[in-house]
Amino acid sequence: MKIKAYDMMTDNHIELTASLTTDHPASSYGQPVMIVDEWDGDIMGHENWVLAGCHVVDLPDDESEAFGQWYSLIGAMAEGGSR
């Protein structure tokens, strides 16, 4: 998928390529994590997503379910984990 994020260091919006996987040490209980290609395989946490004002530019159909699952955790965190 392609996402846009605000880079505070350069004061620019940047486009990143990311994918979702459950095959990563940061994944637990089958929850997907977002791996950013430009970050040498490091993950984007939900906090990073919110602080950088990220949004999806292009989401392939085969990733939409996993992204929905990943993104729904932001709402759960905002509600204090009451989900």
Q: Give the pLDDT confidence of 6-45 residue by residue, as tens digits.
A: 998 999 999 999 999 998 888 888 888 999 999 998 999 9
What average pLDDT does the segment 49-69 reach?
A: 94
Residue 82 has pLDDT above 60, yes or no: no
- Domain membership of residue 69 (yes or no) is yes
Is 27 inside any structural domain? yes
Q: Is residue 7 part of a domain?
A: yes
**CA separation for the pair 8, 58 (Å, rounded):** 22
Q: Which domain holds residue 52?
A: 2-78
> Based on the structure, what is the number of domains in the chain?
1
Give residue 68's pLDDT band: very low, low, confident or very high (50, 70, 90). Answer: very high
Within a domain: 83? no
